[in-house]
Structure 1
Amino acid sequence: MTKSMALPVAPSTQREHQEKTRGSDFSELSRRIAEAGLLRRRPFYYTVRFGLVALALGGCVAAFLTLGDSWGQLFVAVALAVVFGQLGLAAHDLAHQQVFSRRRPSEAGGLLVADLLLGMSYGWWMNKHTRHHANPNHEGKDPDVSPDILVWSRRQARKARGLPRFVGKHQAALFFPLLTLEGLNLSFSSFRALKSSSVKRPALECTLLVTHFVLYFGGLFAVLSPAKALLFLAVHQGLFGIYLGSVFAPNHKGMPMIEEGTRLDFLRRQVLTSRNVRGGALVDAFMGGLNYQIEHHLFPSMPTPALARAQVITERYCAELGVPYHRTGLIASHREALRHLRSVGEPLRAPAEG
């Protein structure tokens, strides 16, 4: 089984065998994880982590106001892109109730960080991300692999028309340039989602989003000349999008796609479609713990600092079961993802190359 091929549909006899022999596999892993104490809350860790991010955000704002109409603001734009990336990771952890065990404080924190500080709808993203976790890399159920500008399978490539068809031919080369628009795309999608049922509090989220952009654009054009403000916007939002894409793309892109009708138990569905990224403390901080993507998908509410220990337990357990467990370096993970994008776009290039 290669990393980019779809998982086969299990015949009915295989399905019955899976249900009998694999039903308790995740339960056993869950028992080992619980016995290791890896599901308990880590309030001190999150107090320190979120406190440092808040200080960094405050520092960026202070530097912005101090520098005034200066080209030195481009350095602030770079720093603020990193801070926004960390805010996105904080919103992610809040959404998964890693920080608080109860829904209300988790939601309140998520609305504050996502809507007010980032300009992204918490309700819309939460709905989308929950569906992704339930069916990762499932063409019909995972919104993260739904065909849009990019295509994620050869089946999608053959059906692509218009702009997706053109982009799909060169999507591996265009992937990182397109990521520069991801921050703005998240904000645009957030406003568009306010009309849908995926957002339970549209009035509140609309107010928070509008407040964010009034402060953001108002601050830019009040302090900077129009040319500097637009350049600040381009640098900040472009690098923010690349940061987000660099964190999320290695997790599943290039891993097996699940076809309709495929039957997998929970443990195998999450492990086979996810990729871990190794690299030590620096990568852990850069990716906010999402480099332990397999463990995160198996235990979404597990606090970030527990993931490293959970990784050792999970990898050993998968070896016992004979379940493939994929872990690679950061550069290699991007190489695999880009190779997958180029491969699935081949049907769009075939006529020209033939």
Structure 2
Amino acid sequence: MEPVDVVNRPLSTPTLGQESRAEVLEQRRANRGTDKQEFTSDFSALMAQVKEAGLLARRPGWNTLRFVLLGLSYVVAFAMLFLIGESWWQMATAVVFGILFTQTAYVAHDAAHRQIFTNGKVGEWVSTIVGNLFIGLSYGWWLKKHNALHHANPNKAGVDGDIAPGALIFDPEDAHELTGLRKWLAAHQGWFFFPLLTLAGLQLHVNSVQAIIKGQSSIKRRWIEGILIAIRIIGFPLIAIWAAGPLIGIVFTIVQVMVFGLHMGGSFAPNHKGQPIVPKDVKIDFLRRQTLMSRNISGGRPMGFLMGGLNYQIEHHLFPSMPSVNLHKVQPMVREYCAQKDIKYTETTLFESFGIIVRYLNRAGLGQADPFDCPITAQFRSR
């Protein structure tokens, strides 16, 4: 079956004669990891506006401030850990570390998207060190999963690993094969969503270690990543046990991992979960592919701090190398442009998004949801 193009016209990469080389390179970076780079004049026109506004330029002052504040926060957190000592008040310290590790993950995320450093090698090393040593997350494993698969094909069945069947079922088609207890759990999975988020941090650690042990091809510095992540995953709990004693130290580690998973998962899940899922045989131009499958979270700059700028998910997917601090500036431009092109632009509150996710997961678990219910693209669905 031939792929269906929802804008009903051939997709092709603009030639250098049609666009500047810088624009083409920026587009390729945005969709790194795909076999074909598919962009239309719609996105090119928007890109031209953004470049003219200077919003793709790095923000060295802002990023320096972020690193300084993170460094000071770690000093305070470790001071709390050792000064409180063997006391159940360490659970408050565990919460602080869980939040701090999530904020650190945002920095690693931005560096991996080339938002911070103009030198790609420097960005890779910073992401490798920060990801493995501070977060316990393999940079090489995550880069392929997040950039090459998720960003290139958000919510595309069989491609985007973020919607692959696992503890949760996101594509209703996957629910049809379930039986017994697994089928019952899937039918009620929406109600298990938040409890499962507390395990998201542990899952990231496990998946990272497995990828390093197996020598996944995307991990360029396997031994370096392995050493750094071992120091983090083994060393940090030992420090907690040393500072707070065996029992409190172990509980501290469990709480920290749960808070990290809840905060991290709660920042990523609202961005795409419950948005349309695209069948494998459907092709969509870049602008619509990134916009229709993403959801923004309202709340402005405070929400931006809480979610590391991921609340501007539509803008981030369109311009992944744009500094996260600039995303709120480009939002009005993108919103207006989508209105001109009659492209649905989705934005809800954080709590509304959680409600959407829970309801969607329960429907998907029953196999009842339409996996391609986007009003613009449904007419082009393959039969």
TM above 0.5: yes
Give the Cα–Cα distance (whole angstroms) in 2 for the partners of residues 19 and 104 of structure 1.
30
Give the Cα–Cα distance (whole angstroms) in 1 for the partners of residues 7 and 126 of structure 2.
44
Letter in 2 for 1:220: A
Mark the CA change 1:13 to 1:234 in structure 2 (over 3 Å): closer, same or farther.
closer
Contact 1:150 1:164 in 2 (8 A): no
Give the Cα–Cα distance (whole angstroms) in 2 for the partners of residues 164 and 258 of structure 1.
24
Aligned runs of 1:1-354 on 2, under 5 Å?
15-16=8-9, 23-130=40-147, 131-160=149-178, 165-194=183-212, 195=214, 196-347=216-367
Query: Structure 1 stretches of 5 or more lacking a match?
Result: 1-8, 349-354
Q: How many residues align?
A: 339
Aligned to 2:22: none
Letter in 2 for 1:338: V
Report the CA distance between 1:280 and its aligned residue. Answer: 2.0
TM normalised by structure 2 equals 0.84
- Please say which of residues 220-229 and 255-264 is displaced more in the overlay: 220-229
Show CA shifts across 1:196-222 (max 9, x none).
223121111001011112321221222
Mark the CA change 1:223 to 1:299 in structure 2 (over 3 Å): closer, same or farther.
same
Letter in 1 for 2:331: Q
Mark the CA change 1:125 to 1:13 in structure 2 (over 3 Å): closer, same or farther.
closer
Report the CA distance between 1:72 and its aligned residue. Answer: 1.5
Mark the CA change 1:240 to 1:163 in structure 2 (over 3 Å): closer, same or farther.
farther
Letter in 1 for 2:339: A
Give the Cα–Cα distance (whole angstroms) in 2 for the partners of residues 63 and 12 of structure 1.
56
Report the CA distance between 1:223 and its aligned residue. Answer: 2.1
Contact 1:15 1:263 in 2 (8 A): no
Contact 1:68 1:224 in 2 (8 A): yes
Q: What secondary structure does 1:204 align onto?
A: helix
Aligned to 2:17: none
Give the Cα–Cα distance (whole angstroms) in 1 for the partners of residues 108 and 6 of structure 2.
43
Q: What secondary structure does 2:297 align onto?
A: strand
Contact 2:6 2:283 in 1 (8 A): no
Letter in 2 for 1:322: D
Give the Cα–Cα distance (whole angstroms) in 1 for the partners of residues 203 and 330 of structure 2.
34
Mark the CA change 1:161 to 1:33 in structure 2 (over 3 Å): closer, same or farther.
farther
Contact 2:237 2:250 in 1 (8 A): no
Aligned to 2:32: none
Aligned to 2:28: none
Q: What secondary structure does 2:8 align onto?
A: helix
Report the CA distance between 1:10 and its aligned residue. Answer: 7.1
Mark the CA change 1:289 to 1:13 in structure 2 (over 3 Å): closer, same or farther.
closer
Letter in 2 for 1:98: Q
RMSD: 2.0
Give the Cα–Cα distance (whole angstroms) in 2 for the partners of residues 162 and 156 of structure 1.
15
Report the CA distance between 1:19 and its aligned residue. Answer: 6.7
- Please say which of residues 337-346 and 129-138 is displaced more in the overlay: 337-346
Report the CA distance between 1:225 and its aligned residue. Answer: 2.5
- Please say which of residues 215-224 and 255-264 is displaced more in the overlay: 215-224
Mark the CA change 1:97 to 1:76 in structure 2 (over 3 Å): closer, same or farther.
same
Structure with the bigger percentage of helix: 1
Report the CA distance between 1:164 and its aligned residue. Answer: 5.0
TM normalised by structure 1 equals 0.91
Give the Cα–Cα distance (whole angstroms) in 1 for the partners of residues 6 and 65 of structure 2.
52
Letter in 2 for 1:339: R
Contact 2:7 2:285 in 1 (8 A): no
Q: What secondary structure does 1:71 align onto?
A: coil
Give the Cα–Cα distance (whole angstroms) in 2 for the partners of residues 78 and 10 of structure 1.
47
Report the CA distance between 1:245 and its aligned residue. Answer: 1.1
Give the Cα–Cα distance (whole angstroms) in 2 for the partners of residues 89 and 244 of structure 1.
9
Letter in 1 for 2:83: T
- Please say which of residues 241-250 and 159-168 is displaced more in the overlay: 159-168
Q: What secondary structure does 1:223 align onto?
A: helix
Give the Cα–Cα distance (whole angstroms) in 2 for the partners of residues 166 and 12 of structure 1.
37
Letter in 1 for 2:277: M
